[in-house]
Amino acid sequence: MKFLLAPDSFKESLSAKDAADAMEKGLKKAFPDAKYIKIPMADGGEGTTQSLVDATKGKMYYPEVLDPLGKKVKAKLGILGNGDIAVIEMASASGLELIDKKERNPLLTTTFGTGELIKAALDKNVSTIIIGIGGSATNDGGAGMIQALGGKLLDKNGEQIGFGGGTLKDLVRIDLSELDPRINEIKIEVACDVNNPLTGKLGASHIFGPQKGATPEMILQLDEYLGHYADIIRNDLNKDIDQIPGAGAAGGLGAGLMAFLNGELSPGIDIVIRYTDIENQMDGVDFVITGEGSIDSQTRFGKTPYGVAKVAKKFDIPVIAIAGRVGEDIDILYDYGFDAFFSIIQGVCDLDEALENGAVNIEKTCENIGRLIKTSR
């Protein structure tokens, strides 16, 4: 028997690597002599850096950068096993979870720390940087990011504008003459799972502003300021990024990465599938087991288990998914490459218990899956 174990993290409970280890431990009670291929997975969101580092036997670093409000914070930087590719999550530098709810204000928050994190990756002499851009606290269009890398966003007096989406109204001219020259030598891949434009009713400010602390009045201001920002980019850089799908991701960081760093936006799961080389490890596999904290009908829209199932189905390999929560609306997923679903929850418990016992519950569930497979064969 040969199993491929490719879970995402179980948020607040287990990393993807720990989940795969627990899967193997349970299955081994039924199939002690089977071959197990463990590939920690992610979909471009939280945990992507750790998963890709674990999957490629790379290394983690924790550079100190500015958080969204300008305080020091330790961010995450991963270097994949080949030493040539860096992976970062903007949320570890400029994320919503880094600041208290009462302090959230996208007029003030900056992506400067994300720029510092990119610079730390450049210092590792990589040829490619993968950037996950979910979970931002910002609405500055990547202005802080480019300032950290040497770009000048100048006001009418020729001075750098300040931090935050509220200062974009002061922008008069963009000067990239002192931009870190290493940027021109590397490839920027952006894990982005939204198609929102930069401005408008479906843009960064209107759709994502409220969760970042924006009031209705702020939303109108921020949308106007991002529109002004897009105009300056069009005039000074000859790039029209306003309505490009994904430009509005992460408070417009998607637009900034495209405009300033020639970033290429792709679905996060597609990037992870490529760099883990999961497709080339399907040969001879009897069963694929994947999973994450919650699975429901939305899983088919780019979540990790769907990405894994999509690859497995190219080879007609059965796919079993496990989760802490299995939604009542999963029936549609049987048409998307899944063959069975199992909840790992062993009985009535509260959320804290479920999170604390994640490894044990995965192990027990996978032991039962293994014994069922063994009996059926």
Is 68 domain-assigned? yes
Residue 13 sits in the same domain as residue 66: no
What CATH number should be reported for the domain holding residue 36? Answer: 3.40.50.10350
Q: At what angle do helices 48-56 and 268-276 cross, to 10 degrees?
A: 10
Beta bridge partners of residue 88, listed in sequence order: 77, 131
- Radius of gyration in angstroms for the set of CA atoms belonging to the chain, rounded to a whole number: 22
- Same domain (yes/no): 147, 253: yes
Q: pLDDT for 206-231, tens place per residue?
A: 999 999 999 999 999 999 999 999 99
The whole-angstrom separation of Cα 237 and Cα 243 is 16
Q: How do strand 85-89 and strand 77-79 relate by DSSP bridges?
A: antiparallel
pLDDT band at 375 (very low <50, low <70, confident <90, very high): very high
pLDDT category of residue 193 using cuts at 50, 70 and 90: confident
Looking at the fold, whether 264 and 368 belong to one and the same domain comes out as no
Based on the domain organization, do 212 and 332 belong to the same domain?
Answer: no
Say yes or no: 90 and 179 in one domain: yes
User: Which of helix, strand or coil describes residue 148?
Assistant: helix
Q: What is the pLDDT of residues 113-145, one digit of tens each?
A: 999 999 999 999 999 999 999 899 999 999 999
Least confident piece of the model among 45-49, 221-225, 249-253: 45-49
Regarding predicted confidence, which is higher, 350 or 311? 311
pLDDT tens digits, residue range 66-76? 999 999 999 99
The residue-averaged pLDDT of 351-371 equals 88
Q: Give Cα 291 distance to the centre of its chain.
A: 17
User: Which of the listed residues 218, 244, 268 is the one where a domain comes to its end?
Assistant: 268
Residue 275 lies in a domain: no
Q: Could you tell me the pLDDT band of residue 355, with boundaries at 50, 70 and 90?
A: confident
What DSSP string runs through 277-344? TGGGG-TT-SEEEEEEEEESGGGGTT-HHHHHHHHHHTTT--EEEEEEEE-TTGGGGGGGT--EEEE-
Domain match, 157 and 198 both: yes
74 shares its domain with 139: yes
* Average confidence (pLDDT) over 325-352: 88
Across the range 261-265, mean pLDDT stands at 96
Pairwise CA distance, residues 15 & 23, whole Å: 12
pLDDT for 349 equals: 67
Q: What is the pLDDT of residue 11?
A: 83
Partners of residue 95 on adjacent β-strands: 136
Pairing of β 173-175 and β 187-191: unpaired
Place 12 in a pLDDT band, splitting at 50, 70 and 90. Answer: confident
**pLDDT single digits (tens) 273-320:** 999 999 999 999 999 999 999 999 999 988 999 999 999 999 999 999
Q: Does 65 fall in a domain? A: yes
Structure confidence at residue 256 (pLDDT) = 97
Is 33 in the same domain as 109? Answer: no
Alpha helix ranges (H) inside the chain: 16-27, 48-56, 91-94, 112-122, 143-148, 204-208, 216-237, 249-261, 268-276, 304-313, 351-356, 358-376
pLDDT of residue 72: 97
Residues 81 and 153 in one domain: yes
Tokens representing 7? 């879970």
**What mean pLDDT is predicted for residues 30-37?**
97
Q: What's the confidence (pLDDT) of residue 302?
A: 87
Mean confidence (pLDDT) of the chain? 95
- Give the residue from 43, 29, 77 showing the smallest Cα distance to 16: 43
Does residue 277 form part of some domain? no
The pLDDT assigned to 346 comes to 78
**Is 274 within a domain?**
no
Looking at the structure of the chain, the number of domains it has is 2
In a domain, 137, yes or no: yes
Look at residue 222 and tell me if it is in a domain.
yes
Residues 31 and 58 placed together within one structural domain of the fold: no
- Reply yes or no on whether the pLDDT at 347 is more than 80: no
Q: From 223, 239, 268, give the residue that closes a domain.
A: 268
Q: For residue 348, what pLDDT is reported?
A: 67
Which of 223, 241, 268 terminates a domain? The answer is 268
User: At 229, which CATH number?
Assistant: 3.90.1510.10
Q: In the chain, pLDDT over 70 holds for what percent of residues? A: 99
CB atoms within 10 A of CB 12: 14
Tell me the two tokens of residue 219. Answer: 């939303």
Residues 77 and 199 reside in one and the same domain: yes
What is the extent of the structural domain holding 298? 2-40+284-376
* Residue 201, CA atoms < 13 Å, CB-side half-sphere: 0
Q: Mean pLDDT lowest for which of 240-244, 346-350, 364-368?
A: 346-350
Does residue 35 share a domain with residue 54?
no
Residue 279: inside a domain: no
Tokens at 30, concatenated: 């039924």
